[in-house]
Amino acid sequence: MVGPISSEERSAFALKVKLALTALVAGSAGLIAVAGDASLPVVAAAVVGGVVAGAALIWFVFPGSGETKRGGGESTRDGDDRFGR
């Protein structure tokens, strides 16, 4: 049987998703510069600008570290739910 996802696993996965999406934005900026026949320094600047813009976008869209607060009828350590049942 598979248990619930731990907070560490959730945070690690959220970080990977954020890094991948930031890399996607940065790569897109670089490819647009290459398509415009830009020189290598301009392409590098576009990639760096894409990293900055991508990181800001991801920070805005996905704030926090990826952790979620669990509510509802979750169990406590002694086996009772939050309503004392």
Burial (CB < 10 A; 0-12, 13-18, 19+), residue 55, is middle
pTM, 2 dp: 0.68
pLDDT digits (tens, 9 = 90+) for 29-66: 999 999 999 999 999 999 999 999 999 999 898 887 55
Q: Residue 23 in contact with residue 54, Cβ under 8 Å?
A: yes
